[in-house]
Structure 1
Amino acid sequence: MIYDCAIIGGGPAGLNAALVLGRAKRSVALIDNNQPRNAVTHASHGFITRDGVTPAEFRRIAYEEVLGYPSVDHLQIKAVSINKIDSGFEVFDSLGLCVQARKVILATGVKEIFPDIEGFYPLYGKSLFNCPYCDGWELRNKPLVVVSELPSVFHVAKLLQNWSKDLIVCTNGQKPLSDEQKKRLQLNGIMVIEKPIAAFIGQNGNLEYVRFKDGTQIVRSGGFVTPRFIQSTPFGDNLGFERTELGGIKTDASGRTSIPGLYSSGDASYINPSQVVFAAADGSRTAMGVNMDLTDEDFK
């Protein structure tokens, strides 16, 4: 069969897009191999009625709701390539299975590339995080470290003073801050350390120290580490859609990419802010765009 729409990615954006299209009586192939980026997260926050829900529970509820619509199929496969054809698109998995659809929504999200620092991953999602709005409340009033090699560290440090006044900024040997920015941070009681970091030290998921390569260390109870973001899939390499300055997939107000019939939703489009509520809303917006385009094509 040829689906009205294939949605690649079963995160909040893809799931909400499937919900809206299912309710519009569209046939949908929801392609997702159950490897969410937020699997290490203990709880998701900032989504009204779902504050504190675990990612696994969020997905369970979402799939239960989405698959209650008979025109939505969940295909537990990994999409590896997409071809444009006259009738729409062909989506192939790693075993050569082909799914045909008139429209495709890329809701594949992004990958986080964190600084290569020993001890990070045992603490990530427990006392080290990357989003202040997601996890700042849980670390409120604690002595925190902000680790970033990017110019956005100035903004992150300013923002985090809403949750804790005991902040130290570490740039891991890089110099992303101007002299004026360092002066402003220091005037606000935020120490800046530009030495390379050797390791995060902690037990049972709790950060205790940040150790530098010169042997010195600072005591901290938690912190935020800024990653770089890249697209999680290589689909753009052969499709050739336009990208934003930050590397996201460029779309219009209805999620349309520069390739007719191809849409993008969620983190894959705007990179940041990376929150469940933003992604879900974007999935709804994009699904409405898809449904409107299908309606226009079929209306005689």
Structure 2
Amino acid sequence: MIYDCAIIGGGPAGLNAALVLGRARRRVALIDNNRPRNAVTHASHGFITRDGVTPTKFRRVAYEEVRRYPSVDHLQTEVTSVNKIESGFEVHDPSGPRVQARKIILATGVKEVFPKIEGFDPLYGKSLFNCPYCDGWELRDQPLVAVSEYPTLFHTAKLLLNWSKDLLVCTNGQASLSDEQKKRLQSKGIRVMEQPIASFVGHDGQLEHIRFVDGTHIPRTGGFVTPKFVQSTPFAERLGCEKTETGGVKTDESGRTSIPGVYSAGDASYLSPSQVVFAVADGSRTAMGVNKDLTEEDFKKDEM
């Protein structure tokens, strides 16, 4: 059997794309390795009617809804490659060819690459986070830290003042701030530390203080660390899809990539901001693009 569409990735974008295509009566293979990036997250926020939902519950309910549509098959496996063939595309897993499909949606998401700082991992998702819009409310009015090695640090610092006026800004030894930006932050009572961080110190997931390489300790109870977002899989690059300046998969308004028949949805397309509500919307948009193109192809074929 040749599916109308194979969706690689079972996160919010892939799930919503499967839902829309299932409701359009398309034969869909939703392929997922069941290793969600947000597994460390306790709750997702900023999505009306789903504010505070755990990622586990979100995925469970989403899969229950998608499975109501008999034309959608869920395949839990690790995709190893995606190849172009005469009939469309062939998706391989460790056992070999697994699925053939006319269209492919890459909903593979991104990976976060954080600065290598001792003590970060046990605190991430509990008192250290990467998105103020997702977790700023829970840390409101606490002594916070903003850590970034990128020029976006100045904006992040200004943004965090909406949640707490007690803010420490750290460049971790990088030139993330100009002299003018440092002066402006300091004028607001924000302390700026440019030396490298030796470690985050905490207990049971709760940040207690930050230790710098010179031995300075500054108490903090939470904060935000900016990661670098990169593609989680090489499939778009191997298929020859054009990239954006920031490393996302370049798409048009319907999710089409530069390679005919290949679409991209969710974080893989725009890398940041990485939020459930963005990914869900993009999955819906891309699924409609796929269905539109399939419809046009089928209509022309019936006329021959």
May I ask how many residue pairs the two structures share in their alignment?
300
The amino acid of 2:262's aligned partner reads: L
Residue 102 of structure 1 corresponds to 102
1:72-221 matches, cutoff 5 A: 72-221=72-221
Indicate yes or no: 2:69 matched with 1:65.
no
Q: Contact 2:13–2:282 (CA<8 Å) still a contact in 1?
A: yes
Scaled by the length of structure 1, the TM-score of the pair is 0.99
Residue 250 of structure 1 corresponds to 250
Q: Deviation digits for residues 164-208 of structure 1, max 9, x if unmatched?
A: 011111011111111111111111221110001110000011100
Structure 1 stretches (4+) deviating beyond 6 angstroms?
none
Segment drifting more, 183-192 vs 62-71: 183-192
Q: Deviation digits for residues 242-284 of structure 1, max 9, x if unmatched?
A: 0001100000000000000000000000011110000000000
Q: Distance in 2 between matches of 1:131 and 1:297?
A: 41
Q: Distance in 1 between matches of 2:262 and 2:7?
A: 10
Q: Distance in 1 between matches of 2:78 and 2:110?
A: 15
Which residues of structure 2 form unaligned runs of 5+? none
Indicate yes or no: 2:31 matched with 1:42.
no
Query: Deviation of residue 88 (structure 1)?
Result: 0.8
Q: Distance in 2 between matches of 1:223 and 1:241?
A: 36
Q: Distance in 1 between matches of 2:194 and 2:82?
A: 44
Indicate yes or no: 2:287 matched with 1:287.
yes
Residue 7 of structure 1 corresponds to 7
Q: Distance in 1 between matches of 2:194 and 2:273?
A: 26
The amino acid of 2:44's aligned partner reads: S
Query: Deviation of residue 80 (structure 1)?
Result: 1.3
Residue 260 of structure 1 corresponds to 260
| Equivalent position SS for 1:121 | coil
Q: Distance in 2 between matches of 1:229 and 1:62?
A: 25
Q: Distance in 2 between matches of 1:216 and 1:191?
A: 13
Q: Distance in 2 between matches of 1:253 and 1:86?
A: 26
Residue 232 of structure 2 corresponds to 232
Query: Deviation of residue 238 (structure 1)?
Result: 2.1
Q: Distance in 2 between matches of 1:165 and 1:267?
A: 31
The amino acid of 2:48's aligned partner reads: I
Q: Distance in 2 between matches of 1:183 and 1:172?
A: 18
| Equivalent position SS for 1:248 | coil
Which residues of structure 1 form unaligned runs of 5+? none
Residue 56 of structure 1 corresponds to 56
Q: Deviation digits for residues 29-87 of structure 1, max 9, x if unmatched?
A: 00001100000000000111111110000000000000110000000011111111121
Q: Contact 2:90–2:97 (CA<8 Å) still a contact in 1?
A: no
Q: Distance in 2 between matches of 1:149 and 1:94?
A: 38
Scaled by the length of structure 2, the TM-score of the pair is 0.98
The amino acid of 2:66's aligned partner reads: V
The amino acid of 2:266's aligned partner reads: G
Indicate yes or no: 2:29 matched with 1:23.
no
Q: Contact 2:82–2:92 (CA<8 Å) still a contact in 1?
A: yes
Root-mean-square deviation (CA, aligned residues, Å) is 0.7
Q: Deviation digits for residues 111-135 of structure 1, max 9, x if unmatched?
A: 0000000100100000000000000
Q: Distance in 1 between matches of 2:109 and 2:225?
A: 19
